[in-house]
Structure 1
Amino acid sequence: MLTYRILSESFAPCQTVGQILNIHSDEFLTIKDNDNSLKIFTLNNNNVLDLKLSIDSITDYYFTKTSSHILFVDEKKFLSIYCLNSLKLLWTSKLFEYKNLQIHSFQSSFIVICLQTKEIFQIDINSLNLKNLVQ
């Protein structure tokens, strides 16, 4: 049974929340702070959140559709790919430093579009090669 209570006063939070929470593939909880630090959690067998990965200076991140890998974009536009199963850094690149990027994730790859040069790149998570698709 659901019960509720009507308040006589309007509710006003005393402070704003400084974190953005997201759930990915019903498996990962991500918490991004205002200072661009990102934490990735999973729920263990005891229903307790386990911290899997914590990275600072992250402006954006993308999971592959299988949620086995994650691509991070830091404040300088450096790219990094981590394997979420082993929690290891697999690949990093400074090629896109300070460039405007558009990134899309697929089953086992990422597509990176450089908006300045109009080049399109693919990063396959199996080979971890950066392939220029369109120049």
Structure 2
Amino acid sequence: MTRYRWDMAFNPPGFRTVILLALGFGLKTLSNVLERAGDLASDPGTRLFNHVSALAVLIAAAACFIWALKLMFFDKPRERNQAEATPEEALKHSDIYPDEANFDPDAALARYMTNRTGADLDDLPAPKPGRFGRKGL
């Protein structure tokens, strides 16, 4: 004999639950409109069609409410999967570009400075005080 265990754990309403509740209230309102139209109809066939349609729409609304309650109270609690919770280790720069593993930025700057043509930094005019960006142009 199988024993069923009804664990009630409250899951905060997510997007699906909110949409189901909104759809249920919308269907309930549509059922009220159809029932009122059936009450005001003069032909017995039209009255019967409107009342049966209202009943079918009301059953659909009840199904939406029951489904939303099931999602909130009787589903398994949402837990993060441990495999999904820990991301893979990111690749390092040396893994992607193995040729540049022995790169020395100081040596590269020294090579650039010795091979550079043109004026040195000392020969450049000093910036004018109080000017920033293109305001001084």
Q: Assess same fold via TM > 0.5.
A: no
More helix by percentage: 2
* Greater share of strand: 1
Q: TM-score, normalised by structure 1?
A: 0.18
